[in-house]
Each structure stands twice: as C-alpha cells, then as structure tokens.
Structure 1
C-alpha cells in the first residue's frame, strides 16, 4: 500500500491557463491598437480649425483620411512597442493585462501586423495625400520606432520625442491641406503637449516611487522635482504663447459682436490651471483619461471650443 504521507507531499499541478477563443486574436490586436487613445489623433483638425478652413467638403474628406492613416501609423507603433516590452509589461501592475503581455496576441503576430501598418500608412499617404504628408507620417513612424528601440531610455530625449509626436499630429492636418502654420500655433501646441507629457511622467514617478524596477526604468533617473519643473515651465510657455497668438493682429479680424479670440484666453488658462491640479496631485495619467473623467475640465474645454469657433467664424 502506497504511503499516503508521500503522496501528500507531491504538489498539485497548477491549472493550465485557458486557451484563447477563436475571436480573441482580432480583439487583442484591436485592443493593442489602443482605441481609447485614438482621441489624440483628433489633433489632425487643429491647424485647419485654427485657420478657419475646416468645413469644406475637400477639407473634411482629407482630414478623415489623414485621421485614419495616422491612427494606423500609431497602431503600428503600439503593436511593435508591446511586442518588444512584453516581458517587462508582465511585471507591471496594469500593463500586464495588455494582450501581448497576457499572451492573447503572440509576439510574432504583433511584430508582423505592426510592421505591415508601419509600411502601409506612409505609402497610402503618398498615393492619396500630398508628398509632404507622406514624409511627415513616415518621419513619425521612424521617430516612434526609434523611441521604442532606444530613445525612451535617454533622459530628456524621451520627453522631446513624445511631445514631438503630439506636435506632428497637430501639424499634419495643415500640411495635408496646404495651410501655413502659425509660429504661435506651433509653440502653443508643442509646449502644451510637453506640459501633459511631463505631468504624466511626474504622476508615474510619484505613484511608482516605492516600486523601483517594476515600471519604466527611466523614471528612476528622473527626480520628481525635475519633472515638476518641466511641467510648470511648459505650462507657463504654453499660456504665454497662446496669449500672444490670441492677441496678434493676423487671422480673425475682430469685427464680431465680442472679441471671442481674446476671451478664449480665459478658458485656455482655466484649462491649464485645472489640469495642473491633477499634475500636482500626481494623478495626471493619460491626457484623454484626465479630460474624460473630469467634468469641469471637459466643460472648460467645450467653452474654449465654442469661443474659438465663434472667433474663427467672426460672429
């Protein structure tokens, strides 16, 4: 008769993880493409909207195409990034649920799909848009892939690359439609993006202070004091540039009922101050999450859109 005590010492087999269902791969690829972050690509309408050239049929069709192409290019970067970071993401408290890290999307499939989109998006832009649009989109893909491979490990450069990605989104709509880009528009957009990016990094550094090595390695090389300095500096420059943009003589003639363009400065500054509340608390995560979860910030944003829209319409 077998010794029961020996049998009890044998550890039970751990249950096998459930196999992905037949529809889990397409769903996993879609989730890896970050649908929630597609809202960032709405920035492609920024330059045409600021110039008051948004509502023609040609402009709307071109901007819809550019939005789709930029979304495809961004999805390519997300797929390749998640394939490269699969092992590191498994050690992260939230990123471990990403489809590639969780095993729902095999790493080779993520690489192949990302590579296909990275090539197809600029080629489609070359065929359907202007050559400069295709060049800008290709530059975005190359820059972001370089970020995934090495630049995200370089102090300060990582902030500059992510900020430039936002700036390219804001530029590409104007480039596609041949609209000259105001210097104040570029400065406001660039430093506004740096404000949000550095605020997010600051929040990550604050939240992960006790988990060194469990998240983005570069965060251990930044100090919270430095990141706070960056987002405060960026906020100040963005506000100054926007005020100069709103007060410059070009663009809106100011013959409407009220000086809407100048009044929009109030809403813009309130939005910066409201966003800074979350940055200061260390809870400014993804920009779209901050905007969508805070009703007051969303209402301020809508107020700004209304005032600037009235300014462009010269109402």
Structure 2
C-alpha cells in the first residue's frame, strides 16, 4: 500500500484546498452543509488529481528515471507495477466522477474538463512554451470555481483574476527552478525548458508578481462590502516576497506544496491570512 499512497501524491492535495476558498470568502464557513459539500468536493478533486498524476507518471516513466527526485517515484523506480497503477487510477476516476455528479452536475462537467485538459497536458501541451504554465494556472482557477459551484455562490471576476495570476506566479517559479536544476545537464531537463531562459522567466515572474499584488489590492479597495480586506494585503505581499526569496536565494520553488509544508514563514503567513479573512467575513 505504501507505493500506492506515494503514487497518489497526497502532499500535492494541498493545492485542492483552494476549493474551500469560496466557503471562506462567501462567509459560509460556519454553515455545516456548505463546509461538508466543500469537503466532498475536495475529496473528489483530490481523487481526479491523483488519477492525473498516475497518468502523467505512466507517460513519463523513462524521462522521470533521469530526474534526481522524480526517479524515486513508485512507477519510475519500479516499486509499483503499471497494471496496479492503472487499476488504482480507474477506481479513483470512477469514484470522483460519481461523487462529483452527486454533488452538482456542473461540478461533474468541471472535473471532466479538468481531466481532459490535464491528459492533453501530459501528452502534448506541456511541451508548448507559455501554454504549459497557463494550463497549470487554469487548474487552480477550476479548483476555486468548483468550490463556488458546489455551495452555489457567485464567483467574482476579481477572485478568478487573482487566482489565475497567483497560479502563473507559482508555475513560472517552478519552471525557473527546473531550469536552474539542470543548468549543467540540459539533456535531462523537460523539453519545454529549451524555449525558456533565466532572463525570460525572471521578466515574466516580475510582471506576474506586480499584477498579482495590484489586482489583489484593487479587489480589497474597490469591493465595498469587503473594504476591511485591505488589512490582509500585507500577508499577500509578504507571502509572495518570501516565495521569491526562496526561489532566488534558496533554489526553491520547484514544488509549491513542499514550500507550504516545509517553510514555516510561508505556512504561518497562509494560516494568519486565512484566519484574518474569516474574522473579517464574520464580523464585518
């Protein structure tokens, strides 16, 4: 069971916590039904994401064996048989499809779209420069949108914009980390990195960073019923700056979920941000 659990990449399920954003920002985090539906949505999204991880690792076995970290994955290392992985993927896919349809038909459509796009990403789109990072950003937007759908609240354009920009920031930072990791051995890097350079990625990251901070600041300043949200801006700014510090000074950024769990500064910032948002939504 241990190789199977590792293959599901449960640490990466932290990305799916974005499903709960709608509950928090809509001020419905004290509503048991909404929280429970969001929890089920989180499970469904985690299962479909793990299905994608298995499919991606299945397609990239040979390439992963050349990677210093990915070579340790169950499929690449041979700990997990291909047939076993296929059965687990089919089971997870079935459960997520049935569960998502039971929650909300639109959520079912979103998960189907997410799976198709990510399957195309694993086969083809991850080799297309710029499109590759935009697909990653789309996945985060779909997570946030799913949370809004299952509790039937409207998702604002500001939320979509801020989520997309933050996801682009994380995706570009990951590409920069990978570029640095294989700087001395380009033959082992993913194909799309041939079209990137450190200068290009730094410029893109700079643009997205500025756009993210400005968009979030404008959101908090212009949405009248959330004007107290301006007090959360320092958390967002510090979190982004801390992440940039880890990328440029500590060679981090290759795995956002690992940064969240391993860097105490980032973790505390995220927790304080979430608590401050809930406090503002509850009392204002």
Q: Distance in 1 between matches of 2:261 and 2:100?
A: 31
Unpaired stretches in structure 2, ≥5 consecutive residues: none
Higher deviation after alignment, 47-56 or 296-305: 296-305
1:119: Cα distance to partner? Answer: 4.1
Counterpart check, 1:232 vs 2:206: yes
Which residue does 1:268 correspond to in 2?
A: 236
Q: Tell whether the 8 Å contact from 2:65 to 2:71 is kept in structure 1 after alignment.
A: yes
1:49: Cα distance to partner? Answer: 0.8
Q: TM-score, normalised by structure 1?
A: 0.85
Q: Which runs of 4+ in 1 moved over 3 A?
A: 249-252
1:29: Cα distance to partner? Answer: 1.5
Which residue does 2:159 correspond to in 1?
A: 185
Which residue does 1:16 correspond to in 2?
A: none
More helix by share: 2
Q: Distance in 1 between matches of 2:269 and 2:260?
A: 10
Q: How many residues align?
A: 283
Counterpart check, 1:310 vs 2:284: no
Q: Tell whether the 8 Å contact from 2:8 to 2:50 is kept in structure 1 after alignment.
A: yes
Aligned match of 1:287 in 230, 239, 256? 256
Which residue does 1:215 correspond to in 2?
A: 189
Q: TM-score, normalised by structure 2?
A: 0.94
Which residue does 2:72 correspond to in 1?
A: 97
Counterpart check, 1:195 vs 2:169: yes
Counterpart check, 1:40 vs 2:8: no
Q: Tell whether the 8 Å contact from 2:114 to 2:139 is kept in structure 1 after alignment.
A: yes
Counterpart check, 1:59 vs 2:34: yes
Aligned with 1:93: secondary structure? coil
Aligned with 1:181: secondary structure? coil
Higher relative contact order (CA 8 A, sep 6+): 2
Higher deviation after alignment, 129-138 or 278-287: 278-287
Aligned with 1:52: secondary structure? coil
Counterpart check, 1:29 vs 2:4: yes
What RMSD, in angstroms, separates the aligned Cα atoms of the two structures? Answer: 1.5
Q: Tell whether the 8 Å contact from 1:51 to 1:251 is kept in structure 2 after alignment.
A: no
Q: Note the alpha carbon deviations across 1:163-208, whole angstroms, 9 max, x for none.
A: 1111111211111111101111111111001101110110110121
Between structure 1 and structure 2, the one with the greater Rg is 1
1:38: Cα distance to partner? Answer: 1.2
